[in-house]
Amino acid sequence: MSSAPDRSGRRVLVIGATSAIATETARVFAAYGARLFLTGRHPDRLEAVAADLRVRGAMQVETARLDVTDIGGHAGVIDAAAAGMGGLDVVLIAHGTLPDQRRCEESVAESLAAMQVNFTATVALLTLVANRFESARHGCIAVIGSVAGDRGRQSNYVYGAAKGGLERFLEGLRNRLFRSGVDVITIKPGFVDTPMTAQVPKNALFASPRRVGRAIYRAIESRRSVVYIPWFWRPIMCLVTALPESIFRRLRL
């Protein structure tokens, strides 16, 4: 009789760990006895998440403050995570912001700031993590993107451009690292009921952070390349991307 794989002790670095989705994903890792290194901008919130994960069964939890827009600070935090846990097995990149589209249209600075958080900073982190995992010929990189990256829409094209560019980057990175045994997973949630979407009217398409977090954990376990969460976003986005441009530009999406 086969036994379940031993998942305890895995070394997981979570970037943007205080987000609702990242916290729920980390809770599943904690329940399986993982070692966790959490980063975020607010030390007090990080410590609160860490305390929760210890209670839920994590073998080890450490924290470090990281503002992802401080590109120069990335290497030091990644090194600290690897040193603190004796290496890295999984890196989950979960930070992000949902910019105000109208403000971005009116301000170059707002647009560039949104791209910095949602694209440039993530690319910088991925470059460092990819090189580390490629040298070790081991590891799994999971990045939270968005269905917004599947097609540019008038209501959020700055955010969508950042996520669309990130998807192309991850696609190429996945191909590069394939022969090194390193997995790269693109996670594409739809609407999620989190503080980031507090100002967005809710409807039946919204999922809870708990549901999304559990699905992300399963995606990492299965090493699937691209995952829509919940699943029904894949056919929805197939339909959206299939619409002719002549029709799509007339829609108020």
The whole-angstrom distance between residue 211's C-alpha and the CA centroid of its chain comes to: 15
Q: Write the CB contacts of 112 (distance below 8 Å, at least 6 apart in sequence).
A: none
CB of 36 closer than 8 Å to CB of 61: yes
DSSP 189: E
| Nearest to 156, CA basis, from 101, 237, 98 | 101
First-residue to last-residue Cα distance in the chain: 53
Cα distances (angstroms) measured from residue 196 to each of 21, 128, 223: 11, 27, 27
- Give me the half-sphere count of Cα atoms (radius 13 Å) on the Cβ side of residue 95: 28
What is the edge-to-edge ordering of all strands in the sheet holding 11-15? 60-65, 35-40, 11-15, 90-93, 140-144, 183-189, 226-229
In the chain, what's the furthest Cα-to-Cα distance?
63
| Of 32, 159, 217, 228, catalytic | 159
| Nearest to 93, CA basis, from 61, 130, 60 | 130
Our answer to whether residue 217 is catalytic in this structure is no
> 64: helix, coil or strand?
strand
Query: Which residue numbers are catalytic?
Result: 159
